[in-house]
Amino acid sequence: MLQSVTQTLEIPVRNECDILVVGAGPAGMGAALTAARMGARVTLVEYGGKLGGMWTLGLLSPFFDNWNKPGLNQELREKLAERHAWGGLWDMSFDPSQMALLLNQMALDAKLDVLLYTTACEPYMQDNTIKGVFVQNKSGKQLILAKVVIDCTGDGDIAARAGCPFEVGRPSDGAFQPMTMMFKIGGLREEYPRDATIDWYALLQYRQRESQQKLIEDVPFDKPCIIKLPGPGGQALVQWTHIRFLKGTDGEEFTRASQQAMLQVEKAMLYFREVRDLLGEVYLLELPAVIGVRESRRIKGEYQITDDDVLKGFHPVDGICDVHFGVDIHEPSKAEQTNLRNAGFDIPFRSLVPLGVENLLTAGRCISGSFVAHASYRVTGDCLMMGEAAGAKACDAISRNITVRQLSRELAAQ
Ligand SMILES: Cc1cc2nc3c(=O)[nH]c(=O)nc-3n(C[C@H](O)[C@H](O)[C@H](O)COP(=O)(O)OP(=O)(O)OC[C@H]3O[C@@H](n4cnc5c(N)ncnc54)[C@H](O)[C@@H]3O)c2cc1C
C-alpha cells in the first residue's frame, strides 16, 4: 500500500506582485489585461503553452455572448477581424491560432508578467488570508506573493485548496455536464452552410443504417455540431465527443477522459467520411491541447446566482456582467442537450467573492451560481467580462487599502 510522505523544502520566492491571476483563459485574460492596463503589477500563471484557455488550448468557437459587450469583447472582435480571423459560423467564430497570437501581443503590450508551462499548486495562507500561490514548472517549485489572487482556473483549484466551500453538479445527484474533446477538420466544401446547422445525427443514422444505439455507443451525443471557421481551406471545429461521469478535477479521471475522447474522435471521423459527398474530403487537422471541461467546482461566494435569477431576470446594484446566453445543459446522464430561455440577468460582483478566504476572487466558470445558472454564464463572452470586473475591482480595493470583500459589501449596499 502506498503511504504518504512529509518533506521539508526551502521554496524560493519568485516575485511579489499586486495581483496574481491564475489561469489564462477568457476570465484570466480579462482580469490580467484589465489590471495591468490600470497600472497594477500583475503576474499571470498558466499551465498551457499559450494564452487563451478553452479559446486556444481547447479549440472552441463560436465566441458566445460577445456581440452585446463593449470592452475587451469588442476589442477582440475588432482585432480578430483585422487579422481576417473573425466570422465563420453565426459570424462569431474565430481562428484559434490567430487568437493565441493576438493575446500574446496584447499581453506583451500590457507588460504583463506571464509565466507559461506553470501549474499553480496550492495557496500560501496566513490564517484565512491568501498571501500567494506556490507554483511548479521547469525551474522547480516557487512562491509568488500577491496582495490579491484571482482564481481563473475554471476549476477553482486555488479557492478549493484554500478551503472555500464549493458545489459540483446538479442538486438531485451531483452529476455534472460531460467533457468534450473538440477537434479541427480541414477539407470542408466551400458551399457548406455557414449560418445553418444540419441535423448530422439524423443524416448519419440514415446513411449508416445504424441503430441509434450503435451511434450513441460510438459517439454519445445526438447533436454533432460542425463550426465553420473564417478563412479559406474549409476548416471547421467539431463538437461531438462526450465523456460522462469522469471528473476534470481528478488527475486519473481527466487522463482517462482524454484517452476515451480520442477514441471517439476516430469514430466521428469515420462517420464524417461516410457523408463526404455532402461535407467534402474532410480530414483530421488538429487535436486540442486539452479536453474541454464544461463543469466542475462552483466556488460558493457572497451571493449564489439562482435558477430564478436566470429564468425570471435579476439586475442587482453591483451587477458587473450582463448575461444573455440561454441555459445550455449537455445532459450529465443522457446523450442530449436541454435548452432553457434566459430572461436576461446581471452577475453581481458578490458572486466573485468566495466565502471564508480573504484577498481572493474568482472569475469565469468557477464563480458562485447554481447548476442551471452556470449553464448560462459559462460562455466565453461572459467569462471575459467577469474577468475584466475582477481585475478592475482588485485594483480599486488595493488602491483604497481595503479587502475585496469590504469593497463588494460596499457596492452591494449602495
Ligand atoms: C467542449 C466545450 C465547448 C464549449 N463551447 C463554447 C462555445 O462554443 N462558445 C463559448 O463561448 N463557450 C463555450 N464553452 C464554455 C467555455 O469554453 C468555458 O466555460 C470558458 O472557457 C471558461 O472560461 P474560464 O476562463 O473560466 O476557463 P478556461 O477557459 O478553462 O481557462 C482556464 C485556464 O486556466 C488554466 N489552469 C487551470 N488550472 C490551472 C492551474 N492549477 N495552474 C495554472 N493554470 C491552470 C487552464 O490551462 C486554462 O488555460 C465550451 C466549453 C466546453 C468544455
Query: Consecutive 10-residue runs of the chain (414 residues): their mean pLDDT?
Result: 77 98 99 98 98 98 96 98 95 96 98 98 98 98 98 98 98 96 94 68 72 81 89 91 96 98 96 86 96 98 98 98 97 92 97 98 98 98 98 98 98 94
| Protein residue with its CA nearest to atom 45 in ligand 1 | 23
Rounded distance from Cα 155 to ligand 1 centre (Å): 9
Residue 321 Cα to ligand 1 midpoint, Å, equals 18
The predicted pLDDT at position 195 comes to 60
* Top-tier CATH class for 13-171+294-412: alpha beta
> Which residues 6+ apart lie within 8 Å of 5 measured at CB?
none
Torsion, Cα 327 333 337 340, to 10 degrees, reads: -30
State the CB neighbour count (10 A cutoff) for residue 266: 11
Cite the beta strand spans of 275-326 per DSSP E.
283-286, 297-299, 319-323
Query: Which amino acid is residue 179, in one-letter code?
Result: M
CA-nearest residue for atom 35, ligand 1, is 23
Q: Is 383 in the pocket of ligand 1 (CB under 6 A)?
A: yes
Atom 14 of ligand 1, residue of closest alpha carbon = 379
Q: 203 CA distance to ligand 1 centroid (A)? A: 31
pLDDT of residue 1: 59
Q: Which residue's CA is the closest to the ligand 1 atom numbered 20?
A: 380
Atom 19 of ligand 1, nearest CA residue? 378
Q: Is the CB of 219 under 6 A from ligand 1?
A: no
Ligand 1 atom closest to residue 384's alpha carbon, by position in its atom list: 25
Q: Does the CB atom of residue 156 touch ligand 1 within 6 A?
A: no
Ligand 1 centre to CA of 178 (Å) is 14
Compute the distance between CA of residue 84 and CA of residue 89 in angstroms, rounded to an integer: 14
Atom of ligand 1 nearest to the CA of 64: 11
* H-run or E-run covering 372: helix 371-377
Q: 106: CA distance to ligand 1 center in Å?
A: 19
What pLDDT, on a 0 to 100 scale, did the predictor assign at position 199?
A: 74
Calculate how far, in angstroms, residue 51's C-alpha sits from the geometric centre of ligand 1.
Answer: 11
Q: Which atom of ligand 1 is nearest to the CA of 387?
A: 25
CA of 310 to the centre of ligand 1 (A): 21
> Residue 357 to residues 47, 212, 365: CA-CA distances in angstroms?
24, 49, 19
Strand partners, 398: none
CB atoms within 10 A of CB 236: 25
Q: Is the CB of 133 under 6 A from ligand 1?
A: no
Domain boundaries, the chain: 13-171+294-412, 183-286
* Model pLDDT, residue 229: 94
Nearest to 289 by CA among 46, 1, 27, 45: 46
Instruction: List the one residue out of 313, 312, 330, 331 whose CA is nearest residue 322.
Output: 313
Q: Which atom of ligand 1 is nearest to the CA of 179?
A: 53
**Distance from C-alpha of 119 to C-alpha of 115, rounded to nearest angstrom:** 9
Take residue 403 and report the three cell numbers written for it.
479587502
How far is 165 from 188, CA to CA, in rounded Å? 46
pLDDT value, residue 196: 56
Q: Is the CB of 152 under 6 A from ligand 1?
A: yes
Q: Can you tell me whether residue 149 is helix, strand or coil?
A: strand
Q: Whose CA is nearest to atom 49 of ligand 1?
A: 53
Ligand 1 atom nearest residue 227's Cα:
8
CA 345, 297, 248: angle at the middle one, nearest 5?
Answer: 125
The answer to whether 34 touches 346, Cβ cutoff 8 Å, is no
CB 180 within 8 A of CB 378: no
Please give the Cα distance from 356 to 53 (Å, whole number). 27
| pTM for the predicted model, two decimal places | 0.97
Residue 211: the pLDDT is 66
Cβ-count burial of 400 within 10 angstroms (0-12 exposed, 13-18 middle, 19+ buried)? exposed
Residue 46: CB within 6 Å of ligand 1? yes
Q: What pLDDT score was predicted for residue 279?
A: 87
